[in-house]
Amino acid sequence: MVFTDDKISNFMVKRSLKLLSDSFESKNKSIEAAKILDPCIGGASFDIALFQALEQEYIKSYKLSEFLKTNFIGIDIEASAIELAKENLKKVGISYADNLNLKCKDYLTDFNEQGFDLIIGNPPYIGEKGNRAVFSKIRATEFGKKYYEKGMDYFYFFIEKSLEILNEDGILTMITPAYWTRADSASKLREAIRARASFVDVVDFGELRAFKDAVGHHSLIFFLQKKKTAEFSYYLINETKNDLGEILENILYGINMSPEPEISISKENHSDFIKSCVSSEFCMNYSPYFNFISKKTQGIFEKIKKHTKSTLGELASINQGIVSGADRVTNKNLSALKEQIDNEANINVKIGDGIFVLNEKEASEYINVCSCLVSFYKNSDITAYSIKKPKYYLFYSTSKMSDADKEKVIKHLYKFEVILNKRRESMLGKLPYYHLQWPRRKEIFTGEKIVSPQRALYPSFAYSDDELYASADVYYITDIKENLFFILGYLNSSFTDFYLRHVGKKKGKYLELYQRPLSEMPVIDISEDKKLEIAHRAQKITNSKICDSLKISQLKLEIDNIIWNELYNL
Ligand SMILES: C[S@@+](CC[C@H](N)C(=O)[O-])C[C@H]1O[C@@H](n2cnc3c(N)ncnc32)[C@H](O)[C@@H]1O
């Protein structure tokens, strides 16, 4: 179980109580009438912070136990969590913990109370993969049917349920992974929020880890209010070695606030965090995702929208690379193989052996004798404007290969037959074991194209008119109905970086350059003359040698300037 750090729960509690008390005060109501819920109490980290903050600032000590017994509910699905919560509460002096309303229940399926003014917690993060039973229970209910979406996480339900049972003007505060604000699998969740609530504050941890052991985990604290508001504050914490508790205190009390930069994501900013004022309408409605873009920067996005006739997806086809279904032998492959063959001594297969993807040594006997053995590129071979020499080979094995090739492919693959027959299409009898699972259309790899790795620190698009075969982590932009080199220059520009970093998809610092973000990338209306100027430079960069790096940087800068000038002059 992941428990929330005290510094984080203290911050979330203090900010939520301030919002709650402001809201009650504006209606001349006493906070003593507020109903509060923690739907997943765990070890009671929020509740300890909550009870202490209530006593310090809002409720007289002699009234606290009465208030908590009648106005607070804590829930957890695990009886052991409820016991632990009671124990922890007693340790901090809540001697009446046994008399509190702490219930062992499933919040999503067995809890029907309504009318809360504050719901606060750290919900469980559980993906559906490997946890079907957890999901089938909730999916069998009306509520589950209403909100289930493919690829979702279990914590989405906690937000949706909380919005349903919250009073009007009530506050919902949670810490969750950050990705749902932009995930395709969270469109119902975003719609539920859009329809009912507004953000009051959002604290984005950026690259800073909220949970020590959760590597690659990006966290977000959000404060939602069940009403419509015009704007909210978005805090982006920078990568810093400073104490998290201090940073959160500074956010809470508005200390050490650096001025909001003109462009909301600025690499030059060294303060602990950046605060921006964001329009609720823009955040929720500029695109299908939630966009935390400051009001200062918002104008440029409105301009981009106004001056875009086509997206990249309308001007070209965007294709994913090859899925072989078994590139090289994995641990899992090996156990499948051992399971089926009794005499293990006969298995001459090791982890890492090439199945469809071969290294130089493995490929040596087939080079020049098997025409379906092709050079195979890794996504890291592709950078902006250039492509490295590949180190691997692939059997481009499909129903169209010659009999002579088929014979050689089988010679290499027969010992992997058991592994290859475990692929879904092979199990269904649709695919011979020696064929690639998804070879795609061959022309994608052989014709003129722009390629990009699916994830990169900067826009990384390169031109190729050679054969270029790669895995599904490479995207191929083909059939381009525009000047190809203009598109190449445009995609590699600082404008594309700016656009994707703000409203495209990101995983931490990495841009996600796959199907949907690429398809949705606007191609702004640039005059024909300027397009040619960009194309000319992009072509020159493509044909340059690496040693021309000064010249290349100059040309890249010129492309950036043309695009930004065009945009400002529109
Ligand atoms: C991430 S932990 C958070 C614990 C605590 N709130 C904290 O921040 O330290 C999530 C908790 O949710 C509980 N939980 C999981 N599914 C639940 C459900 N359907 N209803 C209520 N609690 C649930 C787990 O038992 C666990 O204690």
Q: List beta partners, residue 283.
A: none
- Answer yes or no: is 545 within a domain: yes
Q: Taking a C-beta distance cutoff of 8 angstroms, is the pair 289, 301 a contact?
A: no
- Count of CB atoms within 10 A of residue 30's CB? 11
Listed in sequence order, the DSSP H helices in 341-396 are 360-363
- SS3 of 168, please? strand
124 lines ligand 1 (CB under 6 A): yes
Based on DSSP, count helices (H) and strands (E) in the chain, helices before strands: 23, 24
46 lines ligand 1 (CB under 6 A): yes
Give the residue from 421, 439, 457 where a domain finishes: 439
User: Given this model, what pLDDT does residue 320 score?
Assistant: 97
Distance CA 401, CA 403 (A): 7
- SS3 of 449, please? strand
158 lines ligand 1 (CB under 6 A): no
Q: At CB < 8 A and 24+ separation, what contacts does 433-437 make?
A: 434/397, 434/406, 434/409, 434/410, 435/397, 435/398, 435/399, 436/322, 436/323, 436/324, 436/325, 436/356, 436/395, 436/396, 436/397, 436/398, 437/323, 437/324, 437/325
- Answer yes or no: is 455 within a domain: yes
Distance CA 440, CA 326 (A): 16
User: Given this model, what pLDDT does residue 334 score?
Assistant: 83
Ligand 1 nearest atom to the CA of residue 106, by list position: 20
**Contact partners, residue 302, CB within 8 Å, separation at least 6:** none
- Answer yes or no: is 45 within a domain: yes
**Residue 83 Cα to ligand 1 middle (Å):** 13
Say if residue 489 is in the same domain as residue 451. Answer: yes
Ligand 1 pocket, mutate which of 45, 77, 153 (most atoms under 8 A from CB): 77
CA atoms within 13 A on the CB side of 369: 8
Say if residue 26 is in the same domain as residue 157. Answer: yes
**Residue 207 Cα to ligand 1 middle (Å):** 25
Say if residue 45 is in the same domain as residue 129. Answer: yes
264 lines ligand 1 (CB under 6 A): no
Say if residue 21 is in the same domain as residue 147. Answer: yes
**Virtual torsion, Cα 252, 255, 260, 266, nearest 10 deg:** -90
Distance CA 174, CA 257 (A): 23
Placement of tokens 């829930």 in the chain: 75
Q: Taking a C-beta distance cutoff of 8 angstroms, is the pair 409, 397 a contact?
A: yes
Say if residue 410 is in the same domain as residue 546. Answer: no
Indicate which residue's Cα is closest to atom 5 of ligand 1: 42
**Residue 280 Cα to ligand 1 middle (Å):** 30
Say if residue 37 is in the same domain as residue 165. Answer: yes
Q: Please, what's the b/e burial string for 500-520 (b: 16 or more CB within 10 A of its CB; e: otherwise)?
A: bbbbbbbeeeebbbbeebbbb
- Find the domain containing 409 and state its range: 323-380+387-439
**Residue 283 Cα to ligand 1 middle (Å):** 29
- Answer yes or no: is 207 within a domain: no
42 lines ligand 1 (CB under 6 A): yes
Distance CA 238, CA 106 (A): 37
- Answer yes or no: is 62 within a domain: yes
40 lines ligand 1 (CB under 6 A): yes
* Residue 55: DSSP 8-state: I
- Answer yes or no: is 141 within a domain: yes
5 lines ligand 1 (CB under 6 A): no
User: Given this model, what pLDDT does residue 241 score?
Assistant: 75
Strands 198-204 and 219-225: antiparallel
Say if residue 459 is in the same domain as residue 565. Answer: yes
Say if residue 345 is in the same domain as residue 400. Answer: yes
Domain with residue 493: its CATH number is 3.90.220
User: Given this model, what pLDDT does residue 465 score?
Assistant: 96
Domain with residue 144: its CATH number is 3.40.50.12420
Ligand 1 pocket, mutate which of 1, 12, 40 (most atoms under 8 A from CB): 40
In 128-197 the beta strands, taken as DSSP E runs, fall at 166-177
**Contact partners, residue 331, CB within 8 Å, separation at least 6:** 351
- Answer yes or no: is 110 within a domain: yes
Ligand 1 nearest atom to the CA of residue 111, by list position: 20
**Residue 219 Cα to ligand 1 middle (Å):** 17
**Residue 122 Cα to ligand 1 middle (Å):** 7
* Residue 234: DSSP 8-state: E
User: Given this model, what pLDDT does residue 396 score?
Assistant: 98
49 lines ligand 1 (CB under 6 A): no
C-alpha angle with apex 33: 54 to 159, nearest 5 degrees? 75
The dihedral built from the CA positions of residue 537, 539, 543 and 546, taken in this order, carries a sign that is positive
Strands 474-478 and 317-320: antiparallel
- Separation in Å, CA 343 to CA 277, 332, 337, 339, 340: 67, 18, 11, 10, 9
Say if residue 432 is in the same domain as residue 469. Answer: no
Q: Taking a C-beta distance cutoff of 8 angstroms, is the pair 230, 280 a contact?
A: yes
The dihedral built from the CA positions of residue 171, 175, 176 and 181, taken in this order, carries a sign that is positive
Residue 547 phi/psi, 5-degree rounding, is -65, -10
3-state SS track over 240-306: CCCCHHHHHHHHHHCCCCCCCCCCCCCCCCCCCEEEEEEEHHHHHHCCCCCCCCCHHHHHHHHHHHH
Indicate which residue's Cα is closest to atom 9 of ligand 1: 3
10 lines ligand 1 (CB under 6 A): no
Residue type, 149: E
Q: Tokens at residue 439, please? A: 């070879």
Say if residue 397 is in the same domain as residue 460. Answer: no
Q: Residues in the chain with pLDDT < 70?
A: 1-2, 213-216, 256-270, 340-347, 570
Say if residue 333 is in the same domain as residue 412. Answer: yes
126 lines ligand 1 (CB under 6 A): no
- Answer yes or no: is 69 within a domain: yes
Considering its fold, how many domains does the chain have in total? Answer: 3
Q: Taking Cα atoms as reference points, which of 202, 207, 204, 275 lies closest to residue 239?
A: 207
Distance CA 379, CA 391 (A): 12
375 lines ligand 1 (CB under 6 A): no
Listed in sequence order, the DSSP H helices in 37-78 are 45-53, 61-71
Indicate which residue's Cα is closest to atom 22 of ligand 1: 76
Strands 166-177 and 510-512: unpaired
Indicate which residue's Cα is closest to atom 12 of ligand 1: 40
C-alpha angle with apex 508: 215 to 438, nearest 5 degrees? 90
Indicate which residue's Cα is closest to atom 27 of ligand 1: 42
Indicate which residue's Cα is closest to atom 26 of ligand 1: 42
